[in-house]
Structure 1
Amino acid sequence: MPALEDQIRHLMAEETASMHAAPDLGERVIRATKRKRRRGALAALAATVAVVATTPFYLAAAPGSGPTPIVTATPAPPAIDDLPSSATPPSKSLGDLGDGRAFGHVRLGYLPEGLRWRRWSLDHGDAYTTSFDYAGDKNGFYCVQIFVYEGDAVLEVDDRISVHRQEGEGEEVTVGDRSGYAVVANVGEDGMKGTPTFFLNMGERRRAEIMFSPVYAKDLRTSEAVNRELRKIAEGLTSTD
């Protein structure tokens, strides 16, 4: 059953890769849904393998001898639609954002000195993101990346914050009259030291996730400077609708 085993290995490889996606890939807004679908497909395939592997096939033999097993061809399993194309709209950008300060339904009031918009963004409707670096180069590495979640997408980010709380990671932070949560995420993943992250509650149906790349955090030299800059970005991030 090479075809079946190949599909299982492929799904397992995809599952592992999705759990280690770099923050600046901008695909985490759909990763959770895809991971659930892969797990369901993987479970179905595993169950099929178990049934096929334990089902005996016999051919009647001459009197006095035991049944003789025969090898039969295993039919190829039906194609698995991991994520239907109709459920995965093509990624699109937020367009020309000028200096990048205003994007989607928010405006960035403060940006650390020396950073420029990378001329890059992703728009998935209820979740969108853009980022900034030193050179304004979309092919370079990000320094600061901001995700905004709206509507139902808020549930995904709230779930992640809840996990951090349960694990005793990070701390509650208040920014003016808004609540926030600061944590160093992805510690130890892919050899990284961690991604300083600030989750900001911008209202009942909107959340923001502000991230510093580990490299940029190192440029700031101290954790105090990192926390100060994250907080200043959060304080200056406001809704435009």
Structure 2
Amino acid sequence: MPTLEDEIRRLMADETARLHAAPDLAERVMRSSRSKRRRVRVAALATSVAVIAAAPIGYLTVGSVAMTGQEPTISVVPEPPPIDDTPPVPTEPPNLGDLGDGREFGHVRVGYLPERLQWSQRSVDNGDRYSITYNYKGDDKGSYRVQIHMYEEEAVQEVDDQIQAYRGEEDGEGVTVGARSGYLVVQNVGEDGMKGTPTLFLRMGDRQWAEIMFSPVYAEEFSSAEAVDAELKRIGEGLTSTM
């Protein structure tokens, strides 16, 4: 089957013969037609390049610039976010501020501390959970001899859960300190011979519990486990809620 160009050549040749036109007129017409199509394609491609150069952000991709003179299609691919490879700066947890001698903090007042103990200048404030530690003068500031941790409002449920778990394991015992109920237990007993942390949980009110702990190192300064328990109770008796 003859192509479109062949048919045009035939018609132009017939017309040329009739009008005595130049014999290569048909060929020149076809070249002119092809030249115009090339100019259309070049113009479309130039337009695509100009759009790409003018794009402010992201990546532009030219879909298909049709070889038949159709409009080019352009899609925008979002630029990936920059990668932050800066290591995080360690920060200290919020603390309770300047506590003076450390005998009053949060919503509690400490009436009794064993001899030579002082505030370690360290405290932690997590809202409804906060704590303070005491040590000897000259101790490393990261260590403690006695720690008092307070639980308030919804956080008291954590203490209830811990005590129920100890009761279920028949570990520790319930006690009464003054007119308040409590629970004595040695926590974190290690299989490697670590003696654990003697602890007194003390109910200060419906919305407040105290957890008084002796470090294993400090507990070794006492003559017996009974002496440790007695000193824990004495600290507990001296605690006063300010809620």
TM-score, normalising length: structure 2: 0.60
C-alpha deviation, 1:192, in angstroms: 2.0
The C-alpha deviation readout for 1:91-116, integer Å capped at 9, x for no partner, is 20000111111010000000000111
1:48 is aligned to none
Does the 8 Å contact 1:119/1:138 carry over to 2? no
**Closer/same/farther in 2, CA of residues 104 and 189 from structure 1, 3 Å limit:** farther
Structure-1 residue corresponding to 2:194? 192
Map 1:14-33 onto structure 2 (within 5 A).
none
Contact 1:173–1:182 under 8 Å retained in 2:
yes
Evaluate the alpha carbon distance shift between residue 144 and residue 90 of structure 1 in structure 2; reply closer, same or farther with a 3 A threshold.
closer
Q: Which of the pair has the greater relative contact order for Cα pairs under 8 Å at 6+ separation? A: 1
2:111 maps to 1:109: yes
- Give the structure 1 partner of residue 53 of structure 2: none
**May I ask how many residue pairs the two structures share in their alignment?**
153
What does the per-residue CA deviation read over 1:184-221, in whole Å, with 9 as the maximum and x for residues that have no partner? 11111665211000000011110000000000000112
Identity of aligned residues (%): 62
Match of 1:158 among 157, 160, 182: 160
Name the residue aligned to 2:180: 178
Q: Which amino acid aligns with 1:171?
A: E
Structure 1 residue 143 displacement after superposition: 0.4
1:124 aligns with 2:163: no
Structure 2 unaligned blocks of 5 or more: 1-90
Determine the C-alpha separation between the residues in 2 that align with 1:90 and 1:206: 25
Give distance in 2, aligned partners of 1:107 and 1:136.
25
**Aligned match of 1:147 in 129, 146, 149?**
149
Amino acid aligned to 2:206: E
TM-fit CA distance, 1:125: 0.4
CA distance in 1, matches of 2:165, 2:154: 18
RMSD of aligned residue pairs (Cα, Å): 1.7
Indicate if the aligned counterparts of 1:120 and 1:138 stay in contact, CA closer than 8 A. no
Q: Distance in 2 between matches of 1:132 and 1:220?
A: 17
- Matched position secondary structure for 2:98: coil
Moved over 6 A (4+): none
TM-score by length of 1: 0.61
Segments of 5+ residues of structure 1 without an aligned counterpart are: 1-88
Distance 1:227 1:138 in 2: 25
